[in-house]
Amino acid sequence: MQRLFSTFANSWPGFGLFIQRLAVGIALVHNGIVQLEVQKAGLTMPEIAGAILGILLLIGLWTPIAGILVAVIESWIVFSETGDVAAPIMLAVLGGTLAMIGPGAWSIDARLFGRKHIAG
């Protein structure tokens, strides 16, 4: 993970990434819950997978991988649905940006894979 990102954004940029992760994660989990209640034919599995990835984004774990998978799954939903596709397009773009930018300093990824400070 450290090879992907030289630093994990902190301060205001880190807070911005945290807010972006929260917004995308909450939207994905919400879509998954709504899908379980409505159960439209054929689209249950992508929405459930999106909800699981949303949980990973919420906590900031494996963010680049989860972001790529969110972009792929939401793109699949865009091409599978016939109704309003604005939300899946937005989630696909935001998932892709999270994959490219990274999780930020306020994430489990930063704790697990960030540079360690040696007290001495």
Per-domain residue ranges of the chain: 28-113
Give CA separation, 104 vs 23, 27, 69, 96, in Å: 14, 19, 18, 15
pLDDT band at 117 (very low <50, low <70, confident <90, very high): low
pLDDT in the model for residue 43: 58
pLDDT digits (tens, 9 = 90+) for 13-23: 888 889 999 99
Average pLDDT, the chain: 85
> Residue 99 contacts by C-beta under 8 Å, 6 or more apart in sequence?
63, 64, 65, 66, 67, 68, 70, 71
pLDDT in the model for residue 73: 95
Who wins on pLDDT, 100 or 40?
A: 100
pLDDT in the model for residue 24: 96
pLDDT band at 107 (very low <50, low <70, confident <90, very high): confident
pLDDT digits (tens, 9 = 90+) for 31-63: 988 888 877 655 578 889 999 999 999 999 999
Alpha carbons 120 and 11: distance in angstroms, whole number? 25
Q: Around Cβ 11, how many Cβ atoms within 10 Å?
A: 9
Average pLDDT over residues 79-99: 91
pLDDT in the model for residue 95: 96
Residue keyed to tokens 């929260």? 22
Does residue 81 register a pLDDT over 60? Answer: yes
Q: For the whole model, what pTM was predicted?
A: 0.83
